């Protein structure tokens, strides 16, 4: 995968920056630095969620999974195929599964899971899986568009000094 997915638009970059801001807020609140936003078909951010693993003492409190739970309750499954989820880091296997089951139609991510693994190293707080979201999402019966990476350096900057 190239450093930046050529299919990423300027509007996508703007929404990724929104997700990166949410990731910085998660870090400031004592959580792992990950954030995600949900965008409606018109391109408007309608929901956001940050990682809450530490503050909620919940290993499933990843930003994307938190966003999927919120979207399912507030928007509902019938509308979600027209929505896009933007995230500061490529969704892990768990989050990719949640996105798949929610029916959200498009995922756009900033930093790859591989880049995250290089940053976190062997940190027990983030035992990164080498399973790309594209593989997980392509394994189901429903088609979900995946775009990324883009703005990897901006997303990685939020992780500086966190995992040590």
Which residues are catalytically annotated? 64
Q: In sequence order, which residues have a C-beta less than 8 Å from that of residue 10 and are 6 or more positions away?
A: none
- Which has the closest alpha carbon to 90: 69, 54, 124, 114? 114
DSSP designation for 80: G
Q: Where do runs of H (alpha helix) occur along the chain?
A: 10-28, 63-74, 93-102, 113-120, 133-138, 152-157
């Amino acid at each position: 995968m190239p450093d930046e997915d050529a299919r990423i638009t300027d509007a996508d970059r703007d929404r990724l920056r929104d997700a990166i801001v949410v990731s910085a807020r998660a870090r400031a609140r004592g959580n792992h630095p990950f954030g995600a936003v949900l965008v409606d078909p018109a391109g408007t951010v309608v929901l956001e969620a940050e990682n809450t693993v530490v503050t909620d003492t919940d290993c499933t409190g990843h930003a994307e999974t938190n966003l999927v739970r919120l979207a399912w309750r507030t928007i509902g499954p019938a509308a979600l195929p027209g929505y896009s989820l933007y995230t500061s880091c490529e969704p892990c296997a768990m989050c990719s599964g949640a996105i798949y089951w929610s029916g959200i139609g498009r995922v756009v991510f900033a930093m790859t899971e591989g880049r995250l693994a290089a940053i976190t190293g062997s940190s027990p707080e983030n035992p990164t899986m080498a399973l790309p979201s594209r593989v997980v999402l392509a394994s189901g019966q429903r088609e979900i568009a995946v775009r990324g990476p883009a703005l990897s350096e901006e997303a990685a900057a939020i992780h500086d000094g966190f995992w040590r």
